[in-house]
Every structure is written in structure tokens, then in C-alpha cells.
């Protein structure tokens, strides 16, 4: 399968809503089920606002079908946290286990390491999401803590893991 990675566009909103609505996708994310096209249209428009530093990428097939989404976003507005960003990735149910997540992670980390002035990348993942945890570990993310009963998922409170990765070779002058 050919994987093409590019910036997300507002016109991707219907594909986002469809991907995120699939039970195998939203169950692994800290998102609400039944997302609307309008919600995604607004999120994608907001990401393009002047002064926004977020990066939102998509992976698409040769036919233009959405395979995955990935993003880097500010960890907070505080001056002393500007070296840190958050990371999120979602892979369409039909593309899972086919290297799409790996390609998305490689693109996001290339941007963070070589263009983004990023020292620390943080993420939160459900503690039972073994496939995602393995992917993150493969890219150098380390476990920093377990948050008990962090989120409600399908009627039960579940734990999440806090993971982070420091730049492997921070730039020097």
C-alpha cells in the first residue's frame, strides 16, 4: 500500500468524521463517539488560524482515502513549557497493522526534531492499547506514569499511561 502524508485540509472533514466514528478507532482515543462533520471542519479551520503552531497531518492512499491522522500541538501556553508538545495519532480501522501508524509517527517526529524547536513530546494512551504502546516505544517514548481511572470508556473508568520522548540529539549552536 502506498502511503502519502500531507497537511490536513478543511475538505478532509467528512473523512475525519467517518474515521473517528468507527468503534475500533474512537475506542482507542480520548475522543467522544459520533463526531460530526461540522466539528471536524471547525477543528481543521482553527488549526489554520494565523499564529497557530499546531501541525495536523493525514495519511492518504493513492486513491485519496484517509488512512490516518496525526498531530503535534502545544502542551500549554506557559513560556516555560514551550519546549514541549503533545502528540496524537489515529489510524482508520481498515488501515491498522499495515505500517500507516509507523509512517505517521516518522513524519511527526521528523518535523518535531528537525523543524519544530521541540525538546519534549508528550502523549497519553490507554493502558490496554498494546499496539499503540509498542509503536510509541519503538520511536523512543518512555513510560512516565500511570493515571488510574483517567477516562470513561464504554461505561467503565480506565487507566492511561503518560509517555514522553526527549529529542535524541538536541540542536546546538
The answer as to whether 148 is a domain residue is no
pLDDT at residue 1, rounded to an integer: 78
The count of structural domains within the chain is 1
The answer as to whether 27 is a domain residue is yes
Contact (CB, 8 A) for 20 and 81: no
The answer as to whether 144 is a domain residue is no
Chunk the chain into consecutive blocks of 10 residues (it has 173) and report each block's average pLDDT, rounded to whole numbers.
93 92 86 87 85 90 94 90 94 94 97 94 97 97 98 94 96 84
pLDDT at residue 8, rounded to an integer: 95
Burial tier of 168 (Cβ tally within 10 Å: 0-12, 13-18, 19+):
exposed
The answer as to whether 32 is a domain residue is yes
What nine digits make up the cell of 145?
506514569
pLDDT at residue 158, rounded to an integer: 96
The answer as to whether 52 is a domain residue is yes
What nine digits make up the cell of 35?
463526531
Distance CA 49, CA 73 (A): 13
pLDDT at residue 133, rounded to an integer: 97
Distance CA 34, CA 69 (A): 17
The answer as to whether 84 is a domain residue is yes
List the helix and strand counts (H, then E) for the chain.
Answer: 5, 7
pLDDT at residue 76, rounded to an integer: 83
pLDDT at residue 27, rounded to an integer: 85
Contact (CB, 8 A) for 93 and 40: no
Q: Strand order of the sheet with strand 55-60?
A: 4-7, 55-60, 66-74, 84-91, 120-126, 156-166, 142-153
pLDDT at residue 29, rounded to an integer: 87
pLDDT at residue 31, rounded to an integer: 83
Tell me which residue range forms the domain holding 35. 4-124
Provide the whole-model pTM.
0.92
Indicate the helix (H) or strand (E) that contains 89: strand 84-91
The answer as to whether 10 is a domain residue is yes
pLDDT at residue 75, rounded to an integer: 87
Q: What CATH number is given to the structural domain containing 119?
A: 3.40.630.30
pLDDT at residue 34, rounded to an integer: 83
The answer as to whether 173 is a domain residue is no
Amino acid at each position: 500500500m502506498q502511503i502519502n502524508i500531507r497537511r490536513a485540509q478543511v475538505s478532509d472533514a467528512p473523512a475525519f468524521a467517518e474515521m473517528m466514528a468507527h468503534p475500533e478507532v474512537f475506542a482507542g482515543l480520548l475522543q467522544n463517539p459520533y463526531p460530526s462533520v461540522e466539528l471536524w471542519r471547525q477543528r481543521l479551520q482553527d488549526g489554520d488560524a494565523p499564529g497557530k503552531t499546531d501541525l495536523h497531518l493525514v495519511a492518504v492512499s493513492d486513491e485519496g482515502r484517509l488512512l490516518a491522522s496525526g498531530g503535534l500541538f502545544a502542551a500549554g501556553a506557559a513560556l516555560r513549557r514551550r519546549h514541549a508538545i503533545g502528540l496524537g495519532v489515529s489510524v482508520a480501522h481498515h488501515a491498522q497493522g499495515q505500517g500507516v501508524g509507523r509512517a505517521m509517527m516518522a513524519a511527526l517526529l521528523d518535523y518535531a526534531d528537525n523543524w519544530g524547536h521541540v525538546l519534549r513530546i508528550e502523549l497519553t494512551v490507554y493502558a490496554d492499547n498494546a499496539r499503540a504502546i509498542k509503536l510509541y516505544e519503538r520511536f523512543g517514548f518512555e513510560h512516565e506514569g500511570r493515571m488510574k481511572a483517567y477516562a470513561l470508556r464504554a461505561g467503565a473508568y480506565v487507566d492511561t499511561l503518560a509517555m514522553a520522548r526527549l529529542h535524541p540529539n538536541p540542536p546546538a549552536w
